[in-house]
Amino acid sequence: MTSEGSPGWHGTTILAIRKGGEVVVAGDGQVSLGNTVIKGTARKVRRLSPGGRDVVCGFAGSTADAFTLLERLEKKLESLPGQLARACVELAKDWRMDKYLRNLEAMLIVTDGRDLFVITGAGDVLEPEHDVAAIGSGGNFALAAARGLMHADLPAEEIARKAMAIAADICVYTNGNLTVETIKG
């Protein structure tokens, strides 16, 4: 997700798995500028607690842009307690219509343990099929690996860790330094 004039930031894989009454969100720790690793221990998965209800978010794209969106999402959740879907739609509408927000380059995976959404800068709020969602440069690798493991007799966290390891082996912008958050449904 780079645009004209941006420095070419890469290096995110975020994966969410819903299985066994919980949702696990895992994110790698690598941040790269071009072909140089700038940091290997970034934390791209966060737990928000607006109004006392936990929400787990993972982000891909520009860090400053993602934090701007997380702050906006937290405000939406505070004004719409317990309504994750509506808060996500309201954020996506703002993101698409606001001149400042429209230029932000990030994507979010958001869950409260019951609902799971991918929010894009194009104004989309997507509910993933097959209880698996992934974003970022290694997202397709992690998504394919996780979908292949979903029918195995493995808990969600183990599927997420295995899928992220596969993505890290394939995508040069993804590493094995994981942040993993679990939330019950």
Alpha helices in 80-138 (DSSP H): 84-97
> Residue 98: what pLDDT?
77
Q: Which residues make up each annotated binding site for Na(+)?
A: 168, 171, 174
Distance CA 23, CA 132 (A): 9
Mean pLDDT of the chain, nearest integer: 89
Which regions of the chain does DSSP assign to beta strands (E)?
Answer: 9-10, 13-19, 22-27, 31-33, 36-39, 45-48, 55-61, 106-111, 116-119, 125-126, 132-136, 179-184
Query: Is this prediction's pTM over 0.85?
Result: yes
The answer, yes or no, to whether residue 13 has pLDDT greater than 60, is yes
Instruction: Considering only CA atoms, give the Rg of the chain.
Output: 15
- What integer is the mean pLDDT of 72-88? 93
57, 77, 128, 182 from 85: Cα distances, Å = 13, 10, 13, 19
Domain ranges of the chain: 10-171
129: which DSSP letter? Answer: G
* Topology, domain 10-171: Glutamine Phosphoribosylpyrophosphate, subunit 1, domain 1 (3.60.20)
Query: Binding site: which residues?
Result: 168, 171, 174
Which residues are tagged catalytic? 12
Query: Does 102 or 6 have the greater pLDDT score?
Result: 102
